[in-house]
A and B are shown apart, each in its own frame.
Chain A
């Protein structure tokens, strides 16, 4: 941090001294040389190196790299509403604010022992982290990363629960689920130093992740401990959790789940929600007006991400080990798998460009990010990135629940 500001000072000084002479510009300031927007940029997590590769989705190339973010073996990112800053939540509890234009870290705090992700308020002022250890959420000032509130996820016995499925709601509220406590909590942070918590109890066993519908109305938590999902209609006067898709396994012996599915990054399209089954190699299809199951689509393995292209015409699915060399494309009209592609070894994540004409796919064990045309499914670009995992584009800044 200090060294970087010194560097940029030095760079400024040498520019002054040398006029327009082409001095060696340090990487930290290279990006500020040209005026640029941020609507077509994003970050790729290098999970082993603890770094971010910055990418441009129009040119389909890497434009920079930021290092020193700690253990990013499970990392997620949210963006400031001006889409200039990335907030990176690392496995080791590190929360880092990265200026993507200047390609440098502006703030970094170690806020927990073990963290799983975060969210940002609609006005961009509050960043909230969800933590496994110590179990709870923490509220930060997005501009300074000053800690505003520490909200433990305490269970009746006094022990703390791991927190999953955090999402932002309107009016400085955040919703999350407690893996160990069969509960969903809503934190009203209108006074961010003293959040008020509403807890919905008995929502089902072991919620493992959750999603918020694009309009912010429905919050759906997947349950690991039983067949079914918990759904909350947030437009109701007194929101309550109800069970949907109860007993979708129909008592059959579940297959081993080698990796927990992720629900964030909704797959809702044409009045249907597409959800990963747990312990079954299927994508479940739900009618979002009745919340009844209307179909299930056999797929190539345990689904991890089930993501709708922004227009909702396609749903792309990736899988857990040992089936993670494949990605399948579901046509949402016919509700069938229309193509299986093999982008590379150990596909961990997919991210659509804002209008969905391309999808970027991280292949951890090939050290590659592959870019496909979603219409033709032809490879458009291939980028070398060290053990890539999560890919996050700035269009997320404009979406609730992302």
Chain B
């Protein structure tokens, strides 16, 4: 959590420095939704364990050579010519950056919801 908070702050600072718009790091309730979205919806191509499928693996090891900025750009704009769609209609730039950073760190597990 601490590390996440620090990351979030540094991301916000970076974003502020870069003058980007709506790149604020997401609030905690939203991050829980984003974790679920990545595990469940991105998981339909990348696997719930992010070990790959139609899309490549998104584990920390698999992404070592990919900087978070690159990952954020892929999330936002997609990769033309492949099934990776642009997610900009569903995610703000700040949310894409947050997801990218989490992927680079090893993506968090979903916390089990009570039923």
Chain A residues engaging chain B, CB cutoff 8 angstroms: 47-48, 71, 73-74, 91-92, 113-114, 116, 132-133, 162, 179, 206, 208, 224-225, 256-260, 321-322, 346, 364-365, 367, 384, 386
Contacts and interface: CB of A to CB of B under 8 A. Distances in A.
B48 interface: yes
8 contacts: A74-B44, A74-B53, A114-B47, A132-B53, A257-B83, A257-B85, A365-B40, A367-B115
Nearest to A321: B41
Given A322-B90, A346-B40, A384-B115, A74 B47 contact: yes
Given A346-B40, A364-B40, A256 B45 contact: no
Contacts of B40: 346, 364-365
Contacts of B78: 256
Contacts of A257: 83, 85
Contact of B83 (A73, A260, A365): A260
B54 interface: yes
- Nearest 4 interchain pairs by C-beta: A73-B48, A256-B85, A321-B41, A259-B44
A49 B74 CA distance: 30
A92 B51 CA distance: 8
A163 to B, nearest CB: 11
Nearest to A71: B49
B48 A258 contact: no
A243 to B, nearest CB: 19
Contacts of A208: 54, 83
Contacts of A321: 37, 41, 90
Interface of B is mostly: loop
Contacts of B36: 365
Interface of B: 36-37, 40-41, 43-45, 47-49, 51-54, 78, 81, 83, 85-87, 89-90, 115
A65 to B, nearest CB: 15
A256 B51 CA distance: 23
Name the residue in A114, A225, A367 with the highest tally of chain B Cβ atoms < 10 Å from its Cβ.
A114
A116 B53 contact: yes
B48 A48 contact: yes
Nearest to A162: B54
Contact of A259 (B41, B49, B86, B90): B41
A114 B115 contact: no
Contact of B89 (A133, A256, A367): A256
A257 B51 CA distance: 21
A92 B48 CA distance: 10
B107 to A, nearest CB: 14
A110 to B, nearest CB: 13
A398 B90 CA distance: 42
Contacts of B87: 256, 258
Nearest to A50: B48
A346 B37 CA distance: 11
A258 B85 contact: yes
Contacts of B81: 225
Contacts of B86: 256
Given A73-B48, A179-B54, 6 more contacts: A48-B48, A73-B44, A74-B47, A257-B83, A364-B40, A365-B36
A91 B47 contact: yes
